[in-house]
Amino acid sequence: MNGSAITARIEAGILSDPLLKVSQINVTTNRVVTLSGVVDSQQSIDRAMEIARSVKDMKSVENGLVVKGS
C-alpha cells in the first residue's frame, strides 16, 4: 500500500470515530505516519494513535498531537 492509501485509510478511520471526528488532526505519510494537530484529551491522542497503528503496511507512527489548552 502506498503512502497516499495509508493516509486515506487513517483519515477515514479518524473521521468515522465519534471521539475524533471534531478534532483537528493532520495525517502525513512519508515512510512514517505523522499525526499532528490539536485534540480535546489524552484519550483522543491514544485513539488516533490506535487507528493509525491499525492500518496494514504502516511502518511506524510519530505523535505530534497536543491536547487543547495544555
24 or 70: which leads in pLDDT: 24
Give the residue numbers spanning the domain of 63: 3-67
Predicted confidence band of residue 16 (pLDDT cuts 50, 70, 90): very high
Q: What's the CATH number where 11 sits?
A: 3.30.1340
Examine the pLDDT at 70 and tell me if it is beyond 80: no
Examine the pLDDT at 9 and tell me if it is beyond 90: yes
Domain count, the chain: 1
Is residue 59 within 8 Å of residue 32, measured between CB atoms? yes
Closest to 51 in 3D by CA, of 12, 2, 13: 13
Q: Encode pLDDT of 18-60 as tens digits.
A: 988 777 899 999 878 999 999 999 999 999 999 999 988 878 9
